[in-house]
Structure 1
């Protein structure tokens, strides 16, 4: 059906004809994107024109005006209709009747309508008071009635906008910044708002408004295509959900991707992120230009008066060879020759980041258009300028984005293309892969005084996740890639080997510290063998902290920092030649012995809670140290079911277990019985900690079977069902036979949930194994728990038995 056919249907058949034609248009498989949006606008124009004509018999000086997105002719399937009934102030009764004849059929069809009835003077006054109204009127388009009335309003509104630009544009910028603070950056969100988030459709509309002011204009290259991609995604979202929504929720992304003919949800998000990045960068450049123009307007009259009416000279301050500062931006010197100076982009970027200034759009485009490729390996200056750029702290981000917007980054580092705009479907990560790498370099720049080779630290920070663009283990893939990249950058063989080790093992310290027993010599020796040298260990320690801090708030804490620092100290001792001794069973402390004797005397559990505080790693103690959690000491007469009972009670009291150790202790001579001592560190999920007496009372009931822990946890799960559409990957249980000589290490990876440790403990108890210690860790929605288990006699499990226990545990968790 052609657009002409659509219009005829709407006119001939009234509301029912319009509804039928609209449905056919939205379900056509051959038409989508801009053609469908334009056709839908034409169809709606024809229908509304018919309604207007039928109700406006004898009325003069009235017109129907489309504003906002409808005014631009961009109707998504569930878009609102933004309409203004404009009149010259004549017969108010006739105008009101006409409004009813137009508005009610729209409502009867269930279409969302944003409507108003105003004279041109009223419309201008409202726009003067409400910036959003003024933005909508900038896109005013005549639909029906007196065309001269509409044209007059458009001319007046544009004139008002241009005359008031110096006042209204700063107000508009402030509103955009507030909205970005609320909604976040579209290019990094897992569930972005396509309209309101920074870099979304609202910002694209704002750029059109700035251009209409004639004060400044946005970079046009790629902007229309970026806007079209977001509109296409919103169209598909409306069709997939049947709702007027701009929020691209996780459970709808696969369907939206299929609607657009894309491979999968990741491909969809990457396209959305790329579009948002173009719009956000164009906004940054545009607002800088607006600020420059407004500053110049404020200063120019005074300068001209001081110079007797002559033109003021433009100041240019040298920053580096071929690079100068001009009017708050970094530009190329007049004599700079990008075609003869391949290091110029890195030199200009480093100078800009060091000065804390933005790179001029003109300069970046000039370099992108004419710069020669760097030779391989890079000259020493290029490598030094890259390191300087990476070590400049927070200003690095804006400069890097400017280079990336014009394709210079992928020319310098071709492997960057695979991680560019790549989403990370993990709630712990707040950035895309590429932005996370830059954020890690920014964090690492604060640690350069801690290491002997800051250049290796910064480059490792930039490249540590470069393997995420490839299938398989990203650390293993990254090691291969970084060897090639580091050699091209110009590092020698020894440095390339160090960088490869850092990338291969960038997760080693934090994973070992939080998931393994640091008292076990095998743990420390394994890390020492992987790291190889004191210098590499020093770099890896700094990289670990920078990586975690750049991941998100949930990835690092003083508790994790303390564990990593402890591990690093132990590994450093091994690398220095001090081999760790096989640990003997440590004698109980005085407090532990007191609790154990009380447990024997009473025949029931005894527990104590003690807060633990320590300053963050690398910082001096302060008057208000950060809590690491609470140390929970429990002494229990030896009996079956202790681990599931304790972990279950803690779960019912909403306590998170960070580390857990369970062992039998020897009692003084003359005291009969065996006591299990549990030394755990816990933290409240929210609120305050429960009283020790309440925990003890529930533990007694759990051990004697009168407290139904499984039932309580099931009731809580039923009261808080999982989010619709969120499907967790299945749990995985594995055995690590070489991780310890004293015990068998069983590692559990599963979706974190209340009572998970209880379920694991009960399954291990049913399997007849003894848990020597447990190391619980949570990253976002994922739990990674390691259990050091032995047989009843205290020896590691034979290989086949260990595999059997792991398999049964995995089956239990899946069930």
Structure 2
């Protein structure tokens, strides 16, 4: 190198006041051709091998600063000269890469055009003649401010401006003026900032899930961190606030440095200003940075990009909420806190903790927060995640039933689960719930057909499985199996065998019954069985179906679950993996195997307990509430048996904000004895005596329970897919319950502020089951809702169907209800009309949005789409 030593020490100021410079830079001016030659030598991997990526960038910054200050002094660009050289882009940030352009502004204090032209030509022409890439402009401060006010891209660039040489006061006027103008105009420009970022993401894609990611412009890339800096300058966010040290990626600062180092090596290896990491360069980049091979490099890129994606989601959402108010907006009331679950509320479009919540004493709070986010589509507040990460203890093993239920609600919410799981994962909370996740986090796929990292593939598979929960009798095992079916990858052995062992470990931690743990383990062990056999063996050969039946031990439930898992796994792999051909083969294989297996065990009513018999004989109307585990309560209700009673009982509970997770419907000596396993939506349930009075009023016809439910949903102030009551203390007859001061209840017994309800994911299914004894059973599988049971049983009553007994269960977000019916007329037409009416009373499924489609990851990335308010 003609004038640059590769070692450098503390920076010092030269006589011209140009700022810090490495002592290794010579004191005499050099030609631009020497500058270009040194740039080429530094970019050569053989000559710069002693410099790591960060040192190389610093040497390049020192090199260009020295040339510019020297050349500026030669041209008379000094203090009080009326000229200043200002750098933007890489040199402005102090991040010069081997093949970065020079982005320069020659500022002047409205000097004569001849003098300005002379200085500009003397500065630009040597760089052009040396073939150094240059992006330049000549401006006065007012002109530069005008450009920044009209051009968003220029404004974002000028926010990174840095004085290099000449009149520092002139540079300070520009830099300070641009920042003040940015702060003053941010309310009007914020929507443009968001659209600008989204357009860039659409063009460049999501870095974390691209085979050849664009490190600079992609979602989760360097531009996003620079955007966070711009929002911090506008005083809307705290910029690159760190995540917890034990969080994956350890925060956006470290993620930014990793991507910047990779981009630096990419420039050196490619020999050009390339932004996309090509597969043929990946091994060399990984080796140069001592990361490992191309798979290790892909994992680092994915981890860093997802950390930055999470940070930009939070930053944009925080900035949108912090926009300054003007005019009448200043008089707007503060957002209302709407209850969602025990200890969880919605506030200002985010999921936050209730004021009474104590994370240190409530291990299940993490899952309740996540499930509330998935149910409503609202993002989790960053402060809430931070508070949970700091104080929430780990769940004891085995998990309480409530924790497992909340996990199943989360997994059963379809694609709405992706954002909350990503938020938990980026803040270290998901790894606490599922320690085995660390082995697959950001693990790149080994097959080109896979479009996601292994961990994201598992989440996608679970989201597709969430839309199939009404097709299987055990939706809980389906979504759990989808979530962990590839958990054995990245461990150096057959992932199906390793995963089956891990499934036992995970199932026991979740608190599943031993037989369910066995089924879950077998699902993981054989999740490739059906696709492999169906596509590689002759289905007409009887030995093919016999092989499947023998392998599965004749387990009909396991076969049913594997058929749904095969589809979810294929759809989550990539576009074109699941199609009509593969679907028809697996369907035919399952049909043939089912014919070789025995029939299912039919549902049957459970016998009444002595306590239930005693309660049935105690009074004409009776209600008993028994505390269960955690927030669960058992409610037994007794009333004279009559048509429509079940609908009224369920409706009374729904209007009191009590959601039923399971129920049994029976009778004794002309009295209905119905038991509900339930959880209040928020707070404590009303007294048993109050529910008894409401039930008596409903039975007497003084209250139309179903109409109240319909009115409540219709008058919800938030336009969502259904609503749930905001308060469990709602009174049906007017006023509030004794001693209640809940402001969410109005005088008519309606909640003042309803909240977003569950998104329907799977289509409802109702099927008839004929028993050998002639009993008529109707099985309903649908997404659960508060008020669902009241609506469905009202439909049965309206069609003349009498419910003799019923077994109702909610597995996660899916209701699996079996009704034993007596029909006034039992014909195929009557049955079909009844099925159609029951299905119509269920929540319809919502299709995956265009951005969540099966053909690939959304152009907006995996997180935060619902949480960016635009004013």
Q: TM-score range by the shorter chain?
A: 0.5 to 0.7
Cα separation, partners in 2 of 1:57 and 1:434, compared to 1, 3 Å: closer
Cα shift at 1:469? 2.0
Q: Is the alpha carbon distance of 1:399 and 1:577 closer, same or farther for their aligned partners in structure 2, counting shifts above 3 Å?
A: closer
Instruction: Give the structure with the larger helix fraction.
Output: 1
Structure 2 CA distance for aligned equivalents of residues 499 and 73 of structure 1: 54
Q: How far, CA to CA, are the matches of 1:619 and 1:516 in structure 2?
A: 34
Q: Relative contact order (alpha carbons < 8 A, sep ≥ 6): 1 or 2 greater?
A: 2
Cα shift at 1:290: 2.2
Out of 456, 460, 479, the position equivalent to 2:477 is 456
TM, length-normalised to structure 1: 0.68
C-alpha spacing 1:441/1:518, structure 2 compared with 1 (3 Å): same
Note if 1:316 corresponds to 2:311.
no
Separation in 2 of the partners of 1:302 and 1:62? Answer: 47
The offset of 1:302, in angstroms, is: 3.5
* Correspondence for 2:292 among 237, 260, 263: 263
8 Å Cα contact 1:428/1:554 also seen in 2: no
Provide the C-alpha distance between the structure 1 equivalents of 2:27 and 2:568, rounded to a whole number of angstroms.
61
**Which residue, out of 2, 18, 28, partners 2:8?**
2
Q: C-alpha separation between the residues in 1 aligned to 2:527 and 2:229? A: 45
Map of 1:228 onto structure 2: 257
Instruction: Give the C-alpha shift of residue 36 in structure 1.
Output: 3.1
| 1:138 match | 159
Cα distance between partner residues in 1 of 2:408 and 2:27:
64
Q: Give matches, 1:354-365, under 5 Å.
A: 354-365=375-386
Aligned partners of 2:29 and 2:67 also within 8 Å: no
1:118 matched to 2:135:
no
Counterpart-to-counterpart distance in 2, 1:441 and 1:57 = 63
1:216 CA drift (Å): 2.8
Work out the CA distance in 1 between the residues paired with 2:368 and 2:224: 32
Distance 1:11 1:505, change over 3 A: farther
Displacement of 1:473 in angstroms is 2.1
- The answer to whether the Cα contact below 8 Å between 1:343 and 1:374 also exists between their aligned partners in 2 is yes
Q: Which secondary structure state, in structure 1, belongs to the residue aligned with residue 322 of structure 2? A: helix
- 1:104 to partner: Cα distance: 2.6
1:351-398 deviation digits (Å, cap 9, x = unpaired): 221122111111111011111111122121111111111111222111
Alpha carbons of structure 1 residues 523 and 158: separation in structure 2 relative to 1, 3 Å: same
Distance 1:33 1:60 in 2: 37
Q: Quick check: 1:55 aligned with 2:75?
A: yes
Shift of 1:24: 6.3
Seen in structure 2, the aligned counterparts of structure 1 residues 298 and 506 have a Cα distance that, compared at 3 Å, is: farther
Deviation at 1:314, TM superposition (A): 4.5
Aligned to 2:550: 529
Does 2:230 match 1:209?
yes
CA distance in 1, matches of 2:199, 2:105: 28
Instruction: Name which of 307, 311, 318 aligns with 1:289.
Output: 318
- Rounded to whole Å, the distance in 2 between the matches of 1:480 and 1:200 is 37
1:108 is displaced (CA, Å) by 3.4
Instruction: Give the equivalent residue in structure 1 for 2:671.
Output: none
Given candidates 161, 177, 186, the residue that maps to 1:156 is: 177
Does residue 14 (structure 1) correspond to residue 27 (structure 2)? The answer is: no
CA deviations 1:535-582 (Å, max 9, x no partner) are 11111111111111111112111221111111111111122399xxxx
Judge conservation of contact 2:36–2:132 (CA < 8 Å) in 1. Answer: no
Q: In the alignment, is the contact (CA less than 8 A) between 2:215 and 2:277 conserved in 1?
A: yes
Change (3 A) 1:28 1:567: same
Q: For 1:485, what is the secondary structure of its paired residue?
A: helix
Q: Distance in 1 between matches of 2:328 and 2:340?
A: 25
User: Is the 2:77–2:167 contact (alpha carbons within 8 Å) kept by the matching residues of 1?
Assistant: no
Whole-Å Cα distance in 1 between the matches of residues 390 and 327 of structure 2?
34
Question: Match of 1:546?
Answer: 568
- Partners of 2:67 and 2:432 lie apart in 1 by 52
- Contact (CA 8 Å) 1:419, 1:434: kept in 2 or not? yes
Q: 1:379-427: CA deviations, max 9, x gaps?
A: 2111111111111122211111111111011111111001111111433
In structure 2, stretches of 5+ residues that fail to align are: 1-6, 10-20, 243-250, 601-761, 766-854, 857-871
How far apart, CA to CA, are the structure 2 residues paired with 1:577 and 1:455?
21
Shift of 1:433: 0.8
Over 3 Å counting, the alpha-carbon distance change for 1:506 and 1:6 in structure 2 is: farther
What is the aligned counterpart of 1:350 among 368, 371, 376? 371
Which of 55, 61, 83 aligns to 1:41? It is: 61
TM-score (norm 2): 0.63
**Residue 466 of structure 2 is aligned to residue 445 of structure 1:** yes
Change (3 A) 1:110 1:481: farther
Selected match of 1:516 from 530, 537, 547: 537
| More displaced stretch, 128-137 vs 294-303 | 294-303
Instruction: Describe the shift of the 1:57–1:520 C-alpha distance in structure 2 as closer, same or farther (beyond 3 A).
Output: closer
Aligned-partner Cα distance in 2 for 1:174–1:24: 40
Alignment of 1:629-648 (within 5 A): none
- Go from structure 1 to structure 2 and tell me whether the alpha carbon gap of 1:299 and 1:266 turns closer, same or farther (over 3 Å shift): farther
Change over 3 Å in CA distance of 1:57–1:245 after alignment to 2: closer
Asked if the contact 1:353–1:389 (Cα under 8 Å) also holds between the matched residues in 2, the reply is yes
Deviation, 1:267, is 1.2
SS of alignment partner, residue 85 of structure 1: strand
Paired with 1:227 and 1:247, the residues of 2 have a C-alpha distance of 16
Which residue in the other structure is 1:64 paired with?
A: 85
Is the contact made by 1:85 and 1:116 (CA closer than 8 Å) also made in structure 2? yes
Provide the residue aligned with 2:591 in structure 1: 569
Q: CA deviation at 1:35?
A: 3.7
Aligned to 2:272: 243
Matched, 1:433 2:454: yes
Q: Which moved more, 1:292-301 or 1:332-341?
A: 292-301
Residue of 397, 402, 405 corresponding to 2:418: 397
Q: What is the RMSD of the two structures over their aligned residues, measured on CA atoms?
A: 2.5
Check the 8 A contact 2:36/2:131 in 1, yes or no.
no
Contact 2:221 2:259 in 1 (8 A): yes
The CA deviation at 1:619 is: 13
**Pair 1:465–1:131, CA change in 2 (3 A):** same
2:210 alignment partner in structure 1 = 189
- Structure 1: which 5+ runs fail to align? 304-311, 579-616, 621-778, 781-815
CA gap 1:298/1:367 in 2 versus in 1, 3 angstroms: farther
Deviations 1:774-804 (CA, angstroms, capped at 9, x unpaired): xxxxx99xxxxxxxxxxxxxxxxxxxxxxxx
Quote the offset at 1:16 in angstroms: 5.0
Rounded Cα–Cα distance in structure 1 between residues aligned with 2:562 and 2:27: 68
Residue 105 of structure 2 is matched in structure 1 by 84
| Partners of 2:187 and 2:324 within 8 A in 1 | no
CA displacement 1:86-116 (0-9 Å, x = unmatched): 1122122222222222223323333221111
Tell me the distance in 2 between the aligned counterparts of 1:322 and 1:209.
Answer: 35
Stretch of structure 1 that moved more, 210-219 or 192-201: 210-219
